[in-house]
Chain A
Amino acid sequence: MTATVNKVRGERRRPSARRRREVRTAYLVLLPFFLYIAIWNLVPLLFGLYLGFTEYNALSSTPKWIGLANFKTFFSVPEYGALMWRQIWMGLLALAMNTVISFALALALNVSSKVKGLFRTAIYVPNVSAVSATTAVFVALLNPLADQGLNRILTSLGGAAVTWNYSAFWMTFWIVTYFVWQRVGPAAIIWLGGLQAIDPSLYEAARVDGANFWQQVRYITLPGLKFIAMYILLTGIIGAMQMFDVVMFISKGNPFGQTDVLMYRIYRDGFINFNLGMAGAESLALGLVTVVFALGYLWLQRRNEDE
């Protein structure tokens, strides 16, 4: 057995000295980036995981090890389950809307026009605007008074004023609307890149065969955008599971916690309540759920490919 292994090893071609030097140089070139990632990503990630097993309010020098106590709290207090569930469904709703609308926009923008650059810029601008500033405009529009904001338009059209902040439905609606408004641009541009990479001769052939617009979309466009879709959905899942700034600025989780999500709870536990141990435990739980969703999506994708 040993002799066989040695024989196999012996058969491997030994890299030349020049090749080894090149590899060494390559690793040395990569070293600063590896260090950067280790310091700014790996160490905080591991420290965050460690915090989940501690009690720490950032007023003492060292976190106190408390084992699984934070996780017991997380799984025994119903509020956390509700927050996780709301993060999932609100996030996925926003993701679904964003994916569909951005795809529709990309189809609309995939035409030759002199002003297409202007439209592309216009849909991208919300993404580079400050969330705090643009949400402030949304909040101003949601003024509950009949003669202010959106209510002014509604009442001038003969409708009744809406007390937006009393309604979980409306606050969720505006959170999702803002999320899509802000993120639809980059997704549309990526879809558009994919659309333009599809060989135009395929469409010509389909038209010759009598395929209509929707048949072309179904049998040429969608299969041709498979990898683009995978990228948009995977990054979208991660983004949706981290959605919190929109909630914080628009509803603050109100009315009375009905639009609160786990990521916003993590922020509050970490940086307002300074219960950093609990925030660490919540982050780990949310991170695991995100990984499960991402892997689930990849598994589904692979199964479809096999079929």
Chain B
Amino acid sequence: MKRIRKWTAVLMIICVCTAIGLSACSSAPSGPQSGGANEGAGQTATSAPQEQQPEGETGEKLSLSIVYMGYNDTQIEAANAKEGGAVSQDHYYMTNREKAEAAYPNIDFEWNDWGWAETLDQRQRAAISANNPPSNIVGESFIPAYANSGILQEVPASVLEGIDPSFVYYAADGKPYAVAFKTSIFMLFYNKELLRKAELDPEVPPKTWSEFQTMSEAITAAGNGEFWGGGIPSFPNNGGALRATPFFRQLGTDFGGNDTINLNDEKVQQALAYIRQMDKNFPAGLGNNNDEGPMWNAFEQPDEQDLAFVINGTWEEASAMRYGVDLGVAPLPVPDEDGKVGNCLVGTVYVGVPVGVSEEETNAFWDFYRNICLSEEQLQYWIEESYAVPLTSMLENDALYEGEDKAALRVAVETLRSGTVTGQAAFLKNDAQIWEIINQQVLARVTMTDDPIDQICAQAQAQIEPLLN
């Protein structure tokens, strides 16, 4: 019996040691990514395996593990199987791959589909924390967190040549860590038919907050429960904060940013009061629903089209026209007094290179990105999709934005040329949690209840402040 117990003990020790050993192996530094998070930009790992050396030095191919910037076989198959065939954005990613594989025969490309938003963030963080980062990372809202955590390399100056600064993400230290290949801004889209029904001139969109409110109220009154004017969405998710941000910036303020939260600011509360007023021109629950779908359907779908105004990115133009909306486009209205043009980048896809990627790999990636992904020929695909692109040569070229189907993009490009538009504010700590409080406890609550706005803001401010410390 004693021997049996001994055997049992030995077996259990073996099991536990094996389990610990296996789990330790999974997070052990490996290959060229052996540098830690603090490894400086451009540093080369000393233990880079042979297969990652560029041809010419060792005769072996370099490998690039590309995220998002080119389609893999499955994605190509899915794009081609679409009804009506692949669309412009599919062609962008497919031809990125084709051109890269033709231009760099010495590089083995791996094309990763890691999804978008939360899925992409999770997969990128898993790779980074396992010290096995891909050659590039992409993202929108979480790029500030990456950059401010020191896990991105600084973008080389040569990559930024000829790029509009609006497309570059500069972190809190003032250095560039990511550069976007497309972006958009918010504007006002309206259904001309509903303006006519309310006896308003469809060719004269609102220019100021008061005009916007007056016109929207007139349409809601004329609709008498059949159609509505619409207002500023306050979805309890980031779609709400993104669309509200331009109205704060028009007053020269914002929700906050870095280590500051600004909800007690009078101008923030003034903008919130306006958002509350405008929400009355939505059917109850539409402008602040968990699900954004019903609002877009109300504007676009042929059997609905009962919402006169929506605020969205430039892509709305193509979508609404597809459904036959008699579409009007205008810049966002500005406050009547001391108002200035204010907006927020949206639909931006930033690209950067994580630290720990070898110098050869980094240089090869930026070469591919700059010469193929950011080439005029490739970026043309995004203009077809009504997105603004980063090359100043294209941004300044009016000829690219002619035609009725480019009205929204024309307005967006004019705004972007001012160089004053930035992305949504980012907080240095607990960014996602802070935005969740702003979206749910401030924006949605302002439009769902009649609670005093200063009280709503004070409560949220008190909730957020400890998260910034």
Contacts and interface: CB of A to CB of B under 8 A. Distances in A.
Interface string B1-31: 1011001100110011011101100010100
A42 B128 contact: no
Given A60-B37, A148-B294, A256 B440 contact: yes
B286 A144 contact: yes
B46 interface: no
B432 A255 contact: no
Contacts of B285: 144-145, 163-166
Nearest to B3: A20
A223 to B, nearest CB: 40
Interface string B390-420: 0000000000000000000000000000000
Secondary structure of the B contact surface, majority rule: helix
Interface residues of A, number: 48
A222 interface: no
Contacts, number: 134
Contacts of B430: 273, 275
A255 B433 CA distance: 16
B289 interface: yes
A58 B18 CA distance: 25
A79 B466 CA distance: 13
A139 B292 CA distance: 11
A15 interface: yes
A61 interface: yes
A52 interface: no
A61 B27 contact: yes
B3 A59 contact: no
A27 B440 contact: no
B129 A256 contact: no
B118 A271 contact: yes
B26 to A, nearest CB: 10
6 contacts: A58-B126, A144-B286, A144-B289, A146-B283, A257-B441, A273-B431
Interface of A: 12, 14-15, 20, 23-24, 27-28, 31, 34-35, 38-39, 42-43, 47, 57-61, 73, 77, 79, 139, 143-146, 148, 163-166, 251-257, 268-269, 271-275
Interface of B: 1, 3-4, 7-8, 11-12, 15-16, 18-20, 22-23, 27, 29, 36-37, 118, 121-122, 125-126, 128-129, 131, 145-146, 149, 151, 225, 236-237, 283-286, 288-291, 294, 298, 430-433, 436, 440-441, 444-445, 448-449, 463, 466
